[in-house]
Amino acid sequence: MRATPFYCPFCGEETIEPVGDAAEMYCSSCDRRFEIAFKGLGDPQ
């Protein structure tokens, strides 16, 4: 299961691109690398 984010969660720009074949993304505006992770369904405990 994979979802592509459209905006950087840190600076809000759309200048993000995937890194390699993992879930890692890179934002060229704020120079951050990050990863989006699915944590499951339902309300958090």
- Positions that interact with Zn ion (CB under 5 A): 8, 10-11, 27, 29-30
What minimum distance in Å lies between the beta carbon of 12 and Zn ion? 7
Is the Cβ of residue 37 or residue 41 nearer to Zn ion in the bound state? 37
Is the Cβ of residue 7 or residue 41 nearer to Zn ion in the bound state? 7
What minimum distance in Å lies between the beta carbon of 33 and Zn ion? 10
DSSP string, 1-45: -----SS-TTT--S-EEE-TTSSEEEETTTTEEEE-----SS---
Dist CA 2 CA 38 (whole Å): 8
